[in-house]
Chains A and B, each alone.
Chain A
Amino acid sequence: MDFMRPAGALGKYLPVKAVVALGFMLALSIARFNLLDNYIQLVLMLIGINLILTLSLNLVNGYMGEFSVGHAGFMAAGAYVSSILSVRVLASYSPVWVFPCAVLAGGLAAGVVGLAVAVPSFKTRGDYLAIVTLAFSMIVKSVIENIDAVGGPRGFLGMDKLTTLPWVFFWTVAAVWIIRNFIYSRFGRGVLSVREDEIAADLTGVNTRNVKMLAFVVSSFFAGIAGGLYAHLIQYISPGVFDIVKSTEMLVMVYLGGVGSIAGSMIGAATYTVLLEALRPLGIWRMAVMPLLLILLMIFRPKGIMGYREARWLSPSFGRGTGKDK
């Protein structure tokens, strides 16, 4: 598929690649030699997981212009599938292999669930799609609550703490790279055209149905990956974790950082995660900050910090002369 191919020449993104390589080394050594306080490491990992979630939701809400409020459902699918795999099915194998396989399987499962949601619900748009996705996440929650084999409402545990800083770093970079290349591919342009004017998109020959499905499946895949990472970090999941509040958190991060922007997703996820940790002394009141933030945001900066703008190092014209490229 053409979106898997890097958008530019090999050497073009050399500085970006160097930073990524350095970051990975840093993540490895931090985890290996415990260079940072465990709590700081936890927050860093949460930032990464939240970034994957934000990118995933931004693909649907920001780039495609639809409105999903049920992404916690896909996260739950990924979390439960990967946890069941690592605890029950693959437990006898070496964790070195179990973990990546379990997380990947969780992502794929979420992708399949995403496809199952997309097929019927893309007959609707806008508000209606929002309601369909909301209903979907409620279905996921109550289905899990009623399956006793995975603990029902009590939750599921037994996962080893397999999520480490290098793994989170790896999946975060993968998410940024794949989603960025997807957006700047031909399919990505199709996604943008759906957001801009679906009728005009139809008239230019874009198969809007396929394009929307593909974007939705990619989005739910990454929500599932984030779910798998989360489950093996916190080592406990329950249906209550993946409720409407979780979906709202993702919405806040998307709209805080900026719709239709990868750099915005980074800013949104990092700011929100750090802010939530910094406000811990407020106790339960810190949860009031989130909706308040959303209200203020909608009044003063409805498109978010980076709305529809992209950092230069993430855009395809990076490393080229301005305006001369074709």
Chain B
Amino acid sequence: MTPILEVSGMTVNYGVIAAVRSVSFEVRSGEVVVLLGANGAGKSSILKAVSGLIASSGTVNFEGADIGMVPAHERVGRGVAHVPEGRRIFCNLSVKENLLLGGWVHASKGGVEKDLDRVLTFFPRLKERFNQAGGTLSGGEQQMLAFGRALMSRPKLLLLDEPSMGLSPKLVDYVFSMLSDFHKSGMTLLIVEQNAAMALTLASRAYVLEAGEIKLSGSAAELHDNPLVRRAYLGE
């Protein structure tokens, strides 16, 4: 399969500190890829560089085109959606407004109503809370809203930064079942996740990052059985 996302030689610097050093990886169409690593390994920086929030050197190829110089908001239009760490929903705006903002890039071309229907069928809870302010939602509902907002942009590649962070174990299960549904519907996912055990059951492939460099890569099953991964990330 052809890679939908191809990153090569990506380096991200914060001042004099290099958070990501010449990282290369790819995500093939329809795959779920997980980035594993300790805090500060550079996982979030990689996602931010792919979605255009921060500058990076190296190349980011999306569907065969170099998008390294494309501003973040235009990358959304091309099909890259990023659900950031901590969800970052618009707390003072209603669920409706949050979702409509997610469909911003398609608003002039129409079809937003249909997207809205699709998202609300997927997350019936959001329909119940439709006119409520985003900030009044529970943690799990806010996560749904963040997913829903991202889905409104009709993403081809969904970047997820710690989707299970701050959620109860029951909600973590729910989040992963949703991610699995996204995957089954044909979406490509690139996930950064602390909960390595859960992430590896969902993923097809994984990369292990350490201090801004890729240390290991392989299929999820391989990495799941790797003694190093088991010790460092699966708590053995």
- A204–B116 CA distance with the chains assembled, in angstroms: 15
Chain B minimum-CB-distance residue to A323: B131
- With A199-B53, A204-B102 in contact, is A192–B76 under 8 Å at CB? no
Cβ-neighbour of A201 out of B81, B101, B130, B150 (below 8 A)? B101
CB-contacts of A216-243 with B (<8 A): none
- With A186-B104, A193-B93 in contact, is A203–B130 under 8 Å at CB? no
Q: Which residues of B contact A206 (CB under 8 A)?
A: 73, 101, 104
Q: Is B3 an interface residue (CB 8 A)?
A: no
Please report the total number of A residues contacting B with Cβ < 8 Å.
Answer: 22
Q: Is A196 an interface residue (CB 8 A)?
A: yes
Min C-beta distance of B209 to chain A, whole Å? 22
- A207–B90 CA distance with the chains assembled, in angstroms: 16
Cβ-neighbour of B90 out of A196, A208, A308 (below 8 A)? A196
Against B, the Cβ 8 Å flags (1 = close, 0 = not) of A184-216 are 001001101100110111111111100000000
Q: Which residues of A contact B149 (CB under 8 A)?
A: 204
Min C-beta distance of B162 to chain A, whole Å? 15
- A204–B104 CA distance with the chains assembled, in angstroms: 7
- A202 & B104 in contact (Cβ 8 Å cutoff): no
- With A202-B73, A205-B73, A326-B130 in contact, is A197–B88 under 8 Å at CB? yes
- A186–B152 CA distance with the chains assembled, in angstroms: 14
Against B, the Cβ 8 Å flags (1 = close, 0 = not) of A151-194 are 00000000000000000000000000000000000100110110
Q: Is B84 an interface residue (CB 8 A)?
A: yes
Against A, the Cβ 8 Å flags (1 = close, 0 = not) of B98-131 are 0011101101000000001000000000000011
Could you show 9 A-B contacts with beta carbons less than 8 Å apart?
A193-B101, A200-B84, A200-B90, A201-B101, A203-B82, A203-B88, A204-B76, A308-B92, A323-B131
Q: Which 9 pairs, one residue from A and one from B, show the smallest C-beta to C-beta distance?
A: A205-B76, A205-B105, A196-B90, A200-B88, A202-B72, A205-B104, A204-B101, A203-B82, A205-B73
